[in-house]
Structure 1
Amino acid sequence: MAEDRSLTVRAVAAVFLALATITTVLRCYVRLRIVKAFGWDDGIMVLAYIFYVFFSACMIGGSLWGTGQHLNQLDNHHRVTAMKYWFYCDIGYAIGSILCKISVSIFILRITIHRVHRIVIGVVVGLVVAAGFAFFVILLTQCKPMAFWYLRLSTEEVGKGTCISTHVAMDALYAFSATSAVFDMTIAVLPILLVRKLKMQSDVKIAVAGLLSMACVASVAVIVRIPYIPTLLKTDFLYETTPVAIWSNIETGLGIFAGSMATLRPLLRKFRPSTYQNTWPSSSRGKRSKSMPLQSSQRQDSDRIPLEDRLVGPGSDIAEADIHATD
């Protein structure tokens, strides 16, 4: 077993922060310069990114002071400082993760026609936001005074504060993890349902479904993290809980990365327009249809809303990249 995991902590935070930074910058470029429509989902994702930067910076800072090391290797000052960074990491993680999921849900809602699908998205995002908010509140109120949470490992501060049972915080994290996994899996399935009846070539249909499902990849990190949650009870806290910190960072970083990647098709079309030509079926007059409705043929005419009309408003991207046919 490694005696010092601090380098791993720094490396993970730096790598996924870099990935999230690149895709977030490209997303803003696409929305502001190419599509020229910066939507609510974009603004919320930028906020999520800001809190993720805060999370990653605190994670790197904590690794410099003791995160990933055994307590017997640290003096009181290093213990308290590392725990303080850990506390700030929790705050950045909770807010950043919640905002990322809200952004992704808004993106998916824009292209969702069926009422049942919209209700499902509303329910799962409501559950994950409620669980995340509860987790955030518990983080802030678990100790009195609040500072005692990061002072408790110091041998000089024993008896100067009280904290609720760690099991409460663990249960809140379990609930947040479970609802996050359900949300991610739902976001993975719905895009497939959205495009399965579209009259487009199979390879394009698969590409669009895969594009919209990318934000679900963070569920892998959530599921992997769950078995490590009991390490929050360990006495050697800064060392034993390293996997929780690492997988939490990967979860949020992947969510921002994938959620932003799903908006970048207009960028590919701009630099490689030939890649996106001749993909839409022809009309009876021999010309490609300008748009394809995202609903079954059984829907009433009043409900037939073309996909481009759903996406051409603020934050449109698939419309810009795939809907507007060029002859």
Structure 2
Amino acid sequence: MATDRSLEVRAVAAVFLTLAAVTTILRCYVRLVIVKAFGWDDTIMVVAMLFYAMFCGCMIGGSIYGTGKHLIDLSNEQRTTAMEYWFLCDIGYALASILCKVSVSIFILRVTINRIHQIVIGIVGGIVIAAGFTFFIMLLVQCHPLSYFWTRLASNPNTGTCINIDIVIGGLYAFSAASALFDLTIGILPIMLVRKLKMRRDVKIAVAGLLSMACVASIAVIVRIPYINTLHSKDFLYATTPIAVWSNIETGLGIFAGSLATLRPLLRQFHPSTGPGYPSPWPSSRGGGKRSRSMPLHSLETPIHDASRLHTDERLYNTTIYSVEPGERRESGEDSADQSPILPKWGGMAGREDVERGGGAGGINVVREVVVVRGE
């Protein structure tokens, strides 16, 4: 049997801190620079990342003093310092995990318009947040005075009392169950979100996959559950190492996956073909060809193929600007793959509002195409 697992503790903290930090930074770049729409979900995820960094830092610090080692191999000072780091890890874990789930909930709510889906997200989100904050408060009041939590393993501990450890274990079980339920729900729901959207099949799979990435944290939660009873162990710092490791993996994967789901605009900058192929709401002038255009999932509706839904006095101007080399010719209605629009196909919000309003019979669809010829 291994007698020192401190290296494992440090390695896990360093690896998942790096993964979470990189994706969070990229998320901020996408939302601030590319999309220019930094929302509450992004802000909350950044705060969650800060608490996760605290968690990882304290985990690494604790491993230096005694986390992952047998008590018999540690001095009183090492035991006390390692337990103090352990307590701070608990605080960082609880807050980072709760905030990460709040951020993911807001993100999913932004891309769904189905009322039932919104209610489901609200219910499971409320359950996990309530369980998380209950566990967090339990951590703060479990010992009196609070310092007794990290001095109790010393050979000459200070005077103090702690609540029955079974209460803390019950709180962690409840939070773990709520977290697993939340992660699995968030993993399944995106499949239902994109099922009826007018997209190519491969794009549906890609979008659902990205949105479902947040459920991977449930694997770590489920793996951790059998180790929760090790909180009873007298050799606390060594026996509870799996709880520390899998709690770190759970939170790191949650932040990593939750941020990864927002990075499609960045991928499209490097690989335009990864953009979703949404059907154009109007047939082209040559055989109904379709051109891709991007818009958030929450603004997607069933495309309008019937011009009779527009009022006779309403007009939709659909403008596409193409870029061609000098001497090139482009036939009207041509939809070749190498002539992607360099400006959005929709010429402003007014045009979209005309479509969404719908209306009576007989409409006019005016398509304007502007060809920009590059200079010599």
TM-score (norm 2): 0.77
Question: Counterparts in 2 of 1:194-213, with a 5 A limit?
Answer: 194-213=193-212
Alignment match, 1:169: 168
Deviation, 1:112, is 1.1
Pair 1:147-2:147 in alignment? yes
Give secondary structure in 2 for the equivalent of 1:89.
Answer: helix
For 2:272, the aligned partner's letter is: P
**Higher relative contact order (Cα pairs below 8 Å, separated by 6+ residues):** 1
In the alignment, the residues of structure 2 paired with residue 186 and residue 21 of structure 1 have an alpha-carbon distance, to the nearest angstrom, of: 25
For 1:210, the aligned partner's letter is: G
Deviation, 1:296, is 7.2
- 1:55-98 Cα offsets, whole Å, 9 max, x none, are 00000000000000000000100000000000000000000000
CA contact (8 A) 2:198 2:302 kept: no
CA contact (8 A) 2:13 2:248 kept: yes
In the alignment, the residues of structure 1 paired with residue 83 and residue 25 of structure 2 have an alpha-carbon distance, to the nearest angstrom, of: 31
Give secondary structure in 2 for the equivalent of 1:269.
Answer: helix
| Structure 2 residue ranges without an equivalent (≥5) | 304-308, 310-343, 347-368, 370-376
Deviation, 1:287, is 4.1
Of all paired residues, the percent bearing the same amino acid is: 67
- 1:136-165 Cα offsets, whole Å, 9 max, x none, are 00000010001101110011115x000000
Deviation, 1:125, is 0.6
Deviation, 1:114, is 1.2
In the alignment, the residues of structure 1 paired with residue 274 and residue 109 of structure 2 have an alpha-carbon distance, to the nearest angstrom, of: 27
In the alignment, the residues of structure 2 paired with residue 96 and residue 163 of structure 1 have an alpha-carbon distance, to the nearest angstrom, of: 25
Count of paired positions: 300
- 1:90-127 Cα offsets, whole Å, 9 max, x none, are 00000000000000000000011111111110010100
TM-score (norm 1): 0.88
Deviation, 1:200, is 1.2
In the alignment, the residues of structure 2 paired with residue 30 and residue 237 of structure 1 have an alpha-carbon distance, to the nearest angstrom, of: 43
Alignment match, 2:105: 105
Question: Counterparts in 2 of 1:30-179, with a 5 A limit?
Answer: 30-157=30-157, 160-179=159-178
Of Structure 1 and Structure 2, the greater strand share is in: 2
In the alignment, the residues of structure 2 paired with residue 64 and residue 154 of structure 1 have an alpha-carbon distance, to the nearest angstrom, of: 17
* Structure possessing the higher radius of gyration over alpha carbons: 2
In the alignment, the residues of structure 2 paired with residue 192 and residue 295 of structure 1 have an alpha-carbon distance, to the nearest angstrom, of: 17
Moved >4 Å (runs of 4+): 289-297, 324-327
| Structure 1 residue ranges without an equivalent (≥5) | 302-323
Deviation, 1:199, is 1.6
Q: CA RMSD in A?
A: 1.8
Q: 1:281 aligns with which of 279, 282, 288?
A: 279
Give secondary structure in 2 for the equivalent of 1:116.
Answer: helix
In the alignment, the residues of structure 2 paired with residue 106 and residue 66 of structure 1 have an alpha-carbon distance, to the nearest angstrom, of: 39
